[in-house]
Structure 1
Amino acid sequence: MADPTDTAAQPGTPYRVLARKYRPRSFRDLVGQEPMVRTLTNAFEANRIAQAWMLTGVRGVGKTTTARILARALNYQTDTVDRPTIDMLDTGVHDQAIMEGRHVDVVEMDAASHTGIDDIREIIAQVRYRPVSARYKVYIIDEVHMLSTQAFNGLLKTLEEPPEHVKFVFATTEIRKVPITVLSRCQRFDLRRVDPAAMIGHLRNVLGQEGIEAEDDALRILARASEGSVRDALSLTDQAIAHGAGHVGTQTVRDMLGLADRARVVQLFELVMRGDGSGALREFAEQYQAGADPVVVLQDLADFAHLVTSLRFVPETAGDASLSPDEVERGRDFAARLSVKALSEVWQMLLRAIGEAREAASPRQAAEMALIRISYAATLPGPDELVRLLQGAAPGGVAPNPGSVPASAPAPAAAQPARSAEASRPFDLAAAGPRPEPPRPAPVPVTPAATRPAPVVAAPPAARPDPAPVPSEPRPSPVAEIVPPPAPKPAPPARLEPVRPETARQAPASVGLAERMQAAPSAALAQRPVPQLAEDALPRTLEAVEALILERRDSHLRARLRRYMRPVHVEAGVIRFEPAPGAPPTLAGDLQKRLLEWTGRRWVVDTVETGGAPTLDEAAAERRARLIREAEGDPEVAALLAALPGAFVREVRLRGEPEPEEAAPEEAEALAPLAEEGGEHGLPELIDADPADRDYGEDSVLFDQDAQPDEDDD
């Protein structure tokens, strides 16, 4: 409600901004803080009034205002009421001076400018004296987290046992910086962000009292831009009134904030997801000419991608009052058509693009390049289409040769819904209705061969016989990952990606992404006593030592072992190796110390000058290069490479072989030099949310490719 003593509307008086004019004067006027109001109401009614309160929350949610209202409630006094109360219906004796911050018994201190122990000593010296005219002497310390450690320590005793006539109210936006010894002496209230519905209602009420008309979409934009801060919302509304000459219109607010029309943002999102790069650039240029900020456009695209994802998982998101009906309808349509993989990767690409645009000399150029990058990725063929090509099918979904279909592949028609030709493409608005997620095919069991597998050289498709139901000696065949060609650019430095050695070892099943991201075992884990391993359980090969290091989650030591140790002799309790160039001098000692901790036995780890075998990384790189050469010599792969000019084999993985593990951040540092940022082939790479997708970089298709063969293919 407006200040009843406000005279700003009278001629000749200075104007007061809306945030001050409509500052709440009682708990009934607070917006969106019902839990705190209910707690304080019960406490005052039961006469269980605390000696100190801690108010925390983001900027502009009412911390200082709440502190003044508390001081007013504590000292409320009228002709009929002479006790602390929440129900302050009439103006009390001390109300006006307290709300204006000039009452002699209500001391407000800004801790940002009074941080030292001397300021606290002054408060401690004053608390012993009784209030001059009010019931309580109230100390309001704003931004209390800015106090020094000495100031906090000096305040502790007074805060724990203050005189009965003294109350403390603290306010802070950084609650974690306040010592726990102070927090334990206060009642804490977390002031919440105001939800969009309450914010829109408050703005509509304020504008109604001001006699100003406003469009609903304009209020939605203001509520969204305020991020739950009432002060920010009122300040933006003040600016919008001046910008629109007394009328708050939707286009006026967009122009003021540098925003594009939400409908045009959705249109741009659709063009990008269709892969229409030229159309996306034209639409972006029109929005830019209309005054939209490039960074804000990218942020709006990311917001809409987040909205689509939220609608997919939490349909109740549609009830958000800050969303227009058209946004909800279009968001539901995209949620029904786009996969989670597509949305997560688009989000990651947009997030990176926002950072690039902020740092670029020309944000517009950075935004345009990001739109081109996403549009290009949206047009690439998906893994299912490449599988069809490998099996002898045409890109458009022509049925593969029957001889190329594995006998163990699932075939029941009921479990495999028909997938049309556009299923291999990212997005098609022409498809009618939402498309359900297809079930994942059952994995094909493969028995690993005892010897090193050789690439399969297949006869022409017409001459292929029907496969036997169960091969007597199954041979794993290499699966080549074909990556379409990137844009021409100078060749970057080669990067050797760590691949499992030829003598593969099984990583512990408990080691996942979170474990690989840890730099080293925690102190508690390192200090935990480890039982002595039995003789037959000790590692006897360098690969077994690596597996033990991986199990103990020491990715840094593992990276150094793989890169710098050329094994000469390895047995239980003894490791001799030739250090590779650049090996740290402490490698042998570090490994010896860790093995002692992990196995409970003393190990002899020493170095020799010559005679070492290739390191694990060198062996893995040689194996990778050999498999790629063999795959490129395969007739089917060669035919596929010829059909896709400029394509190349990026990785080869044998059927039944586990996927190569990704290096943790610390491991990546130890494996330097790596290729420059931007990916192995010049395009930026993403961190895939699904480990099954980690083989595909940003230049691959953005959409769910768990495709099943068409029913026509049988």
Structure 2
Amino acid sequence: MEQFVVSARKYRPQTFKDVVGQQAITNTLLNAIENNHLASALLFTGPRGVGKTTCARILARKINQPGYDDPFEDFAFNVFELDAASNNSVDDIRNLIDQVRIPPQTGQYKVYIIDEVHMLSSAAFNAFLKTLEEPPKHAIFILATTEKHKIIPTILSRCQIFDFKRITVKDAKEHLAEVAKSQGVAFEDDALHIIAQKADGAMRDALSIFDRVVSYCGNNLTRQAVTENLNVLDYETYTRVTDLILENNIPEVLLAYNEILAKGFDGHHFIAGLASHFRDVLVAKNPATLSLLEVGEQAQRLYFEQAKKASSEFLLKGIDLANDCDLKYKVSQNQRLLVELCLMQLCSVNFDGEKKKLIS
């Protein structure tokens, strides 16, 4: 039986064209290689799972093997990967500096990829300074980190810095669609959107979640199966609660909240999500801002329908009340009551408005 390979490894990009959501950086690196403008020390910084180490490996391969014609194994000895989290002492860096002096046996460059470089000790950083500034012609250093602020300024000043950005929901969703098609998995558009949103800008996390959900529901990814497996409150829940609020139906709103708590969801998560939902409905009121909704087509239609029922004044007041509850949640002695009070106030927004109209 063939061993299962996780999608994050199976679909790891092999060329710069395959890298998702980092076109500005990959184009810059390609141009630098073509024009012989590649710096001897590069710093790749950004959130986890966005392609820093992947780009470092592709770059190492590209500069030694421009046409990708020969087997990569011939140049594998030229690429050295060091995990700074477990090799962070002065002795580890001195051993690295001794290796750097030896030229490559095949190929043009020796590439040193130092992952989690912010974990190096101050003494190790200082031992590394001179070599980083004036390495031999055959050596290129690629440093990768998620925490640039922990790197000493003298190291930063010697590196060409590339800031990797979070991968957008749209880019992540499109890549997941390609992966699903290659595996023969049928999917609903909204299901992939939920996975992409849950990944929070990290492609590796998106692929890990995708594997988990496919294991749960087989070769047919539905929105319902994804929300059940990931235990997330989806837009349908918030749409139903908002409809009840617009109807001023306090008893049903409180029962709906009780049902949400019974399913194991946190009240803080719920109220923060409700504020985001009001924002999304407000965005859906204007066709010009519909593109700001990072949801599938079915969800867009639901938001658009609800936007017709809710006034801008109600939505702005709703965002304000939900956000205020969100801020007070952690310090509240009775968190359930706080959220319930917020929901009752939300139900009263339109009701108070009707009363004022009658009085006037």
Fold agreement, TM-score > 0.5: yes
Deviation digits for residues 492-550 of structure 1 (CA, Å, limit 9, x no counterpart): xxxxxxxxxxxxxxxxxxxxxxxxxxxxxxxxxxxxxxxxxxxxxxxxxxxxxxxxxxx
Aligned to 1:154: 127
Aligned to 1:175: 148
Deviation digits for residues 470-490 of structure 1 (CA, Å, limit 9, x no counterpart): xxxxxxxxxxxxxxxxxxxxx
**Sequence identity of aligned pairs in percent?**
35
Are the structure 2 counterparts of residues 339 and 241 from structure 1 closer, same or farther at C-alpha, using a change threshold of 3 Å? closer
Unmatched 5+ stretches in structure 2: none
> How far apart are the structure 2 equivalents of 1:21 and 1:336?
47
> Residue 38 in 1 paired to residue 27 in 2?
yes
> How far apart are the structure 2 equivalents of 1:198 and 1:396?
47
Alignment partner for residue 71 of structure 1, among 46, 60, 80? 60
Kindly indicate whether the alpha-carbon contact (under 8 Å) linking 1:259 and 1:293 is maintained by their aligned counterparts in 2: no
> How far apart are the structure 1 equivalents of 2:331 and 2:73?
51
> Mapping of 1:345-360 within 5 angstroms?
345-353=321-329, 355=330
Kindly indicate whether the alpha-carbon contact (under 8 Å) linking 1:17 and 1:238 is maintained by their aligned counterparts in 2: yes
Kindly indicate whether the alpha-carbon contact (under 8 Å) linking 2:82 and 2:114 is maintained by their aligned counterparts in 1: yes
> Residue 325 in 1 paired to residue 303 in 2?
no
Aligned to 1:666: none
> How far apart are the structure 2 equivalents of 1:331 and 1:150?
60
- Return the offset for 1:273: 6.1
> Mapping of 1:675-690 within 5 angstroms?
none
> How far apart are the structure 2 equivalents of 1:242 and 1:274?
40
Are the structure 2 counterparts of residues 215 and 312 from structure 1 closer, same or farther at C-alpha, using a change threshold of 3 Å? closer
> Mapping of 1:214-253 within 5 angstroms?
214-253=187-226
SS, match of residue 67 in structure 1: helix
Q: Tell which has more relative contact order, 1 or 2 (C-alpha 8 A, sep 6+).
A: 2
Kindly indicate whether the alpha-carbon contact (under 8 Å) linking 1:52 and 1:186 is maintained by their aligned counterparts in 2: yes
> How far apart are the structure 1 equivalents of 2:152 and 2:195?
36
- Return the offset for 1:130: 0.7
Aligned to 2:5: 16
- Return the offset for 1:211: 0.7
> How far apart are the structure 1 equivalents of 2:246 and 2:48?
37
**TM-score when scaled to structure 2?**
0.88
Alignment partner for residue 55 of structure 1, among 37, 44, 51? 44
Deviation digits for residues 636-663 of structure 1 (CA, Å, limit 9, x no counterpart): xxxxxxxxxxxxxxxxxxxxxxxxxxxx
Aligned to 2:70: 92
Deviation digits for residues 331-373 of structure 1 (CA, Å, limit 9, x no counterpart): 64446242635422321213433x469xx9xxxx84x423321
- Return the offset for 1:300: 2.3
Kindly indicate whether the alpha-carbon contact (under 8 Å) linking 1:196 and 1:320 is maintained by their aligned counterparts in 2: no
Kindly indicate whether the alpha-carbon contact (under 8 Å) linking 1:25 and 1:69 is maintained by their aligned counterparts in 2: yes
What is the letter of the counterpart of residue 222 of structure 1? I
Kindly indicate whether the alpha-carbon contact (under 8 Å) linking 1:272 and 1:371 is maintained by their aligned counterparts in 2: no
Alignment partner for residue 98 of structure 2, among 117, 122, 125? 125
> How far apart are the structure 2 equivalents of 1:134 and 1:335?
66
Are the structure 2 counterparts of residues 55 and 212 from structure 1 closer, same or farther at C-alpha, using a change threshold of 3 Å? same
SS, match of residue 77 in structure 2: coil
- Return the offset for 1:303: 2.3
Kindly indicate whether the alpha-carbon contact (under 8 Å) linking 1:311 and 1:335 is maintained by their aligned counterparts in 2: no
Kindly indicate whether the alpha-carbon contact (under 8 Å) linking 1:223 and 1:322 is maintained by their aligned counterparts in 2: no
What is the letter of the counterpart of residue 70 of structure 2? G
Kindly indicate whether the alpha-carbon contact (under 8 Å) linking 2:247 and 2:347 is maintained by their aligned counterparts in 1: yes
- Return the offset for 1:209: 0.5
Kindly indicate whether the alpha-carbon contact (under 8 Å) linking 1:36 and 1:191 is maintained by their aligned counterparts in 2: yes
Over the aligned positions, Cα root-mean-square deviation in angstroms equals 2.9
**TM-score when scaled to structure 1?**
0.46
Aligned to 1:415: none
SS, match of residue 13 in structure 2: coil
Aligned to 2:270: 297
What is the letter of the counterpart of residue 92 of structure 1? D
Kindly indicate whether the alpha-carbon contact (under 8 Å) linking 1:259 and 1:291 is maintained by their aligned counterparts in 2: no
Quick check: 216-225 or 246-255, which moved more? 246-255
> How far apart are the structure 2 equivalents of 1:157 and 1:313?
57
Are the structure 2 counterparts of residues 72 and 206 from structure 1 closer, same or farther at C-alpha, using a change threshold of 3 Å? same
> Residue 372 in 1 paired to residue 348 in 2?
no
SS, match of residue 192 in structure 2: helix
Deviation digits for residues 29-68 of structure 1 (CA, Å, limit 9, x no counterpart): 0011110111112212211111111111111001111110
Are the structure 2 counterparts of residues 110 and 310 from structure 1 closer, same or farther at C-alpha, using a change threshold of 3 Å? farther
Higher helix content, 1 or 2: 2
Aligned to 2:172: 199
Kindly indicate whether the alpha-carbon contact (under 8 Å) linking 1:139 and 1:167 is maintained by their aligned counterparts in 2: yes
What is the letter of the counterpart of residue 339 of structure 2? L
> How far apart are the structure 2 equivalents of 1:192 and 1:396?
49
Are the structure 2 counterparts of residues 239 and 380 from structure 1 closer, same or farther at C-alpha, using a change threshold of 3 Å? closer
Aligned to 1:421: 358
Aligned to 1:110: 83
- Return the offset for 1:306: 3.7
Deviation digits for residues 209-230 of structure 1 (CA, Å, limit 9, x no counterpart): 0111111110110111111111
Kindly indicate whether the alpha-carbon contact (under 8 Å) linking 2:245 and 2:253 is maintained by their aligned counterparts in 1: yes
> How far apart are the structure 2 equivalents of 1:396 and 1:279?
21
Deviation digits for residues 280-325 of structure 1 (CA, Å, limit 9, x no counterpart): 1222334455665555433422321343465679952544343521
> How far apart are the structure 2 equivalents of 1:314 and 1:114?
54
Kindly indicate whether the alpha-carbon contact (under 8 Å) linking 2:184 and 2:219 is maintained by their aligned counterparts in 1: no
Kindly indicate whether the alpha-carbon contact (under 8 Å) linking 2:50 and 2:165 is maintained by their aligned counterparts in 1: yes
